[in-house]
Structure 1
């Protein structure tokens, strides 16, 4: 089992931290490292090494680890330490099931409420996805996917749905980031189709496409990760 944070294996998350928000910033840095696989499932997080890495005391680190535990990113095992949670097949299924319903409603509202500027921004993001896929640039492709989802949410103009979507998307990235390079060309085509439907103002079709897009992505992620990637 990887022991991230141990000497010679410290988590690759380093940033200039504001003392007033240390726990939140450490939480965010560790969360991103978990999502991107820099801290893989099963990794042990050592508070002393994280504190030393950021030049802080153990107090904000303990607070950050506690909030990560509450958010479901890590597991605190009394007397054994703190470990990054394993990927769970049931969670993956439930996560993409929930996202399918939510993103369908967001796409529907985007078709009804978008502006010309929203469409221009979405098309630019699709173009960025195409370039990233052609260059096999996994990081750029992942960023473009996040930007595309943000663009659809912006066009929907519903702050509550946006907050819910952001939380689920972040959790989904924990699952699809390792295989995002294999999903790239598929993403581009689906994004382009959804933008066309949103631009046409076809709310029902936009909802249907978005729902199918999320369901198919979840199925592909499960297949590409394989059974050995899940704890259950």
Structure 2
């Protein structure tokens, strides 16, 4: 599910000593697919790339192991976790429990400024569907979609659930979902975004919950269908 490896961005000098910055930098690289599933992460190489000692890198890898991003193999080292079909099912199941609820809550309190921004993002995503799919288009879609959903869940005013949901959606699986989409999938998703905005604008919590649930179920189907295609062909 991961993309080809890219260079890990070096942390700016002024923040290089922060263990949290090291952790976030490595986590961002994992989330964006810069390291392939099963690839080993070497402390010395990471430390050199980030301009830090091996100690904060070691601490970061321990945290990422506890969160399920990597796995430690005794006598071998730390490698990137390979996401499985079960991982996908669990993430979508959790999203279905949390995200529609937050959308319904958001419908009761979201402000006009957020509604305006959601409309602009929905327009941007619709425009992307009218052009051929490219890596750049997928990245633009991923970024706009991430902001769109983050605005909605933040508007629900439940910080704990919002943080939990964001953690789930930081996995490489989410970006892989967008790479999976066909042109028809993207058009359907774009239409659902407009329907979400309308439900929020109408302060209709039940409608907002329903369309969000349909939106997640459609994404899940795209991922599971791709998994079936790739494994039936192998």
Q: Could you tell me the TM-score, scaled by structure 1's length?
A: 0.86
- The answer to whether the aligner puts 1:128 opposite 2:124 as a matched pair is yes
Partner of 1:16: 12
Shift in Å, 1:182: 4.1
SS of corresponding position for 2:212: helix
Tell me the C-alpha RMSD between the 2 structures.
Answer: 2.2
Partner of 2:161: 161
Does the 8 A contact of 1:11 with 1:39 survive in 2? no
Aligned ranges 1:27-38 → 2 under 5 Å = 27-38=23-34
Question: More displaced, 182-191 or 45-54?
Answer: 182-191
Question: More displaced, 72-81 or 214-223?
Answer: 214-223
Q: What is the rounded CA distance, in whole Å, between the counterparts of 1:120 and 1:168 in structure 2? A: 26
- The answer to whether the aligner puts 1:178 opposite 2:176 as a matched pair is yes
SS of corresponding position for 1:113: coil
Shift in Å, 1:190: 1.4
Residues 179 and 205 (structure 1), Cα distance of their counterparts in 2 relative to 1, 3 Å cut: closer
Q: Per-residue displacement from partner, 1:140-159 (whole Å, max 9, x unpaired)?
A: 10000110011112322222
Q: What is the rounded CA distance, in whole Å, between the counterparts of 1:68 and 1:139 in structure 2? A: 24
Partner of 1:147: 147
Shift in Å, 1:123: 0.5
- The answer to whether the aligner puts 1:40 opposite 2:36 as a matched pair is yes
Aligned residues: 220
SS of corresponding position for 2:108: helix
Shift in Å, 1:109: 0.8
Match of 1:82 among 72, 78, 89: 78
SS of corresponding position for 1:86: coil
Shift in Å, 1:34: 1.7
Q: Could you tell me the TM-score, scaled by structure 2's length?
A: 0.85
Q: Per-residue displacement from partner, 1:123-147 (whole Å, max 9, x unpaired)?
A: 1111121233334311110000110
- The answer to whether the aligner puts 1:207 opposite 2:206 as a matched pair is no
Residues 26 and 20 (structure 1), Cα distance of their counterparts in 2 relative to 1, 3 Å cut: closer
- The answer to whether the aligner puts 1:95 opposite 2:97 as a matched pair is no
Shift in Å, 1:35: 1.9
Shift in Å, 1:10: 7.4
Q: Per-residue displacement from partner, 1:176-205 (whole Å, max 9, x unpaired)?
A: 313414433332121111111111111112
Gaps of 5+ in 1: none
Q: Per-residue displacement from partner, 1:29-60 (whole Å, max 9, x unpaired)?
A: 22222222210111111111111112221111
Does the 8 A contact of 1:45 with 1:81 survive in 2? yes
SS of corresponding position for 2:71: strand
Partner of 1:193: 195
SS of corresponding position for 1:156: coil
